[in-house]
Structure 1
Amino acid sequence: MDASKLKWIYLGLLSLIWGSSFILIDQAMNTLNSIQVGALRIVITAIFIFSVGLKKVKLIQRHQWKWIFFTAMTGSLFPIFLFAIAQEQLDSSVASMLNSLTPLHTVVFGVLFFGVIVTKRQVFGVLIGLAGALVLVFAGADFNPSQNYWFSIFILLATIGYGLNVNMVKRYLNDLNALAIVTGNFIIIVIPGLLILTYTGFFGEIMNNTEMQIAMGYVAILSLFGTAIAKVIYNRLVQISSPVFASSVTYTMPVVAIGWGLIFGERLSVYQVLGGAIILTGVYLVNKKKKEAVA
């Protein structure tokens, strides 16, 4: 198939997969607690990644393992748990909109710690995005008083981790095979994930609890598609299009997530939708490239 058509198919698949990940977390947490969801997601994803990526580990040089560790913490371990904890109180659609802060934090930490040069427009975009997050949070607190919107802080921390992770990969691991990076990350975090899952009593209950088995199915789908397969699709999308086009998935994910949320009975106020739109406007300004001069 022609690349110009295939890239739109990949974009649609990523939007569907990543946009659906939030409702999968939400459904799994009807039975499992947030720590079990996070730990189980790590373990299942590790099993899948190891089955295809262990041979790539030999590509990691000794001096790179330090950055493999840091990217494992900021890009995988902490965000996986932070999103699950946040969704104890927040609807999946709200979590998806707050996740759109990731590109903004990528720019902020790129400037602060990695020498990235930004334009005034990008700075303006970051400020608009943060304003949108505040609108989303405070509007939600009024519209859904039964939910604790202070849990938005956990998503904020997760997106900070994602922002740091992207910059570290670009600066220190850019020449390393992508599958090797992911496999190395999960080699580091799978044992903590397994120990945490064991400590929660998961293995002692799962065999005799049908509801837990169903919840595990949701996490398995999330792990295989939302974490592992989606990374492969995303890398391929970048190859056949451009990073700018690939990043547009940030705009389409919340649409899918909101749709799933409405199907499962979540409610959003007009002001929350407005807050989400403001965040995406900020993300657009941050990622917008200058037009080339016409000769």
Structure 2
Amino acid sequence: MTLDRLAPAIFVLLWSTGWVVAKFGAIVSEPLTFLSIRYFTAAVLFGGLCLASGVSWPRDGRTVLHALVSGAFLHGLYLGAVWWAIGEGVPAALSSIIAALQPLMTALAAPFVIGERLSLRQKLGLGLGFLGVLLAVLPKFFGAEAAEMPASAIVVNMLGMAAVTYGTIYQKQHLQKGDIRAIATLQYIGALAVTFPFALGLESLHVDFGLAFLALLAWSVLGISMGAILLLLYLIRRGQVSRAASLIYLVPPIAALQAAAIFGEELTVPMILGTAIVVAGVYLTNRKDVAPAE
């Protein structure tokens, strides 16, 4: 099988683990502090990979600036908002559904920003995906957690969704050229430049250094920040931005499966049914049209 076929599935599996990491990360470190360390480590490792591989760095100042800005939105503002909101008490299920609004927002904005047209089938697929996510996590809204959710944290979580939506489109607009590894290095520098000042202003920079922290950091950097992000950048560059964004719909149901396996959270019928609908929606959005026979 080619990378084009395998990349979406691998990306979803890697990216979905971020919710588990966020939940564990709150135990060993403050969220923005953890993310700052993660971005710094990822930038250093990516930079070393680029040097070892002889990667050609962007020589155009505008390309460097675009990479820094896209990283600030895709990683810094997005994950910073999500992790901070979870740390403030927003349940992971609610946070995931807010993040799952991104494909819908991207699909709605793409025609106006980059002139990308969606077929009727793609629109149907996006709608099905959104419906599936709603069905999977809606029961969480009626538990005891619902009354304890801070409004300010929910707003910040929604701003994070808006940031990654804009970052995805910005990436498609301005970063079609250049080595992906070099671009990723610059993006994490941009993410660090945004996240660390917030960590200084809002947190005490407390970290419980130990085996648990090192394991979480290793997976966050190698599995998610490097593995998943390289695949996401590859998908954005190879296909339509709305098709790449639609993969985010698969993350909440798979994250729920991981939470059930690791934390013993209950798997409900709505979650299982919602997952099936999500899969159908993503298939419709990503399926390539077959050229008519001549």
Instruction: Pick one of 21, 28, 31 that aligns with 2:28.
Output: 31
Are residues 266 and 69 of structure 1, via their aligned partners in 2, closer, same or farther at CA, if it must alter by over 3 Å? same
Instruction: Pick one of 33, 48, 54 that aligns with 2:45.
Output: 48
For residues 81 and 187 of structure 1, the distance between their equivalents in structure 2, rounded to whole angstroms, comes to 14
Once the 2 structures are TM-superposed, how far is the Cα of residue 233 of structure 1 from its aligned partner?
4.9
Residue 109 (structure 1) aligns with:
109
Specify the SS of the correspondent of 1:293: coil
Specify the SS of the correspondent of 2:178: coil
Give matches, 1:137-216, under 5 Å.
138-145=138-145, 148=149, 154-197=156-199, 200-202=203-205, 205-206=206-207, 209=208, 214-216=212-214
CA contact (8 A) 1:40 1:197 kept: no
CA contact (8 A) 2:129 2:249 kept: no
Are residues 271 and 196 of structure 1, via their aligned partners in 2, closer, same or farther at CA, if it must alter by over 3 Å? same
Are residues 167 and 220 of structure 1, via their aligned partners in 2, closer, same or farther at CA, if it must alter by over 3 Å? same
Specify the SS of the correspondent of 1:87: helix
Alpha carbon RMSD of aligned pairs, Å?
3.8
- The count of residues paired between Structure 1 and Structure 2 equals 285
Once the 2 structures are TM-superposed, how far is the Cα of residue 144 of structure 1 from its aligned partner?
4.8
Are residues 232 and 129 of structure 1, via their aligned partners in 2, closer, same or farther at CA, if it must alter by over 3 Å? closer
Once the 2 structures are TM-superposed, how far is the Cα of residue 220 of structure 1 from its aligned partner?
3.3
Query: What amino acid is the match of 2:218?
Result: A
Instruction: Pick one of 220, 223, 244 that aligns with 2:221.
Output: 223
**Which is further off, 107-116 or 32-41?**
32-41
| 2:245 is the alignment partner of 1:261 | no
Once the 2 structures are TM-superposed, how far is the Cα of residue 47 of structure 1 from its aligned partner?
2.2
For residues 184 and 107 of structure 1, the distance between their equivalents in structure 2, rounded to whole angstroms, comes to 26
For residues 92 and 28 of structure 2, the distance between their equivalents in structure 1, rounded to whole angstroms, comes to 16
Once the 2 structures are TM-superposed, how far is the Cα of residue 129 of structure 1 from its aligned partner?
4.2
Query: What amino acid is the match of 1:173?
Result: L
Alignment deviations for residues 215-260 of structure 1 (CA, whole Å, 9 cap, x no partner): 3531332122201133345567899xx7489888656644542232
CA contact (8 A) 1:56 1:180 kept: yes
Structure 1 residues without counterparts, runs of 5 or longer: none
Alignment deviations for residues 28-64 of structure 1 (CA, whole Å, 9 cap, x no partner): 1123233223323222222222222367574141233
Residue 118 (structure 1) aligns with:
118
Alignment deviations for residues 156-175 of structure 1 (CA, whole Å, 9 cap, x no partner): 44343333223222222212
| 2:81 is the alignment partner of 1:82 | yes
| 2:75 is the alignment partner of 1:67 | no
Between the two proteins, what is the percent identity of the paired residues? 18
Are residues 137 and 96 of structure 1, via their aligned partners in 2, closer, same or farther at CA, if it must alter by over 3 Å? closer
Once the 2 structures are TM-superposed, how far is the Cα of residue 134 of structure 1 from its aligned partner?
4.8
Specify the SS of the correspondent of 2:145: coil
Are residues 253 and 123 of structure 1, via their aligned partners in 2, closer, same or farther at CA, if it must alter by over 3 Å? closer
TM-score w.r.t. the length of structure 1 is: 0.75
For residues 120 and 224 of structure 1, the distance between their equivalents in structure 2, rounded to whole angstroms, comes to 38
For residues 12 and 121 of structure 1, the distance between their equivalents in structure 2, rounded to whole angstroms, comes to 21
For residues 46 and 167 of structure 1, the distance between their equivalents in structure 2, rounded to whole angstroms, comes to 22
TM-score w.r.t. the length of structure 2 is: 0.75
For residues 214 and 46 of structure 2, the distance between their equivalents in structure 1, rounded to whole angstroms, comes to 18
Once the 2 structures are TM-superposed, how far is the Cα of residue 27 of structure 1 from its aligned partner?
0.7
For residues 256 and 127 of structure 1, the distance between their equivalents in structure 2, rounded to whole angstroms, comes to 19
For residues 256 and 187 of structure 1, the distance between their equivalents in structure 2, rounded to whole angstroms, comes to 29
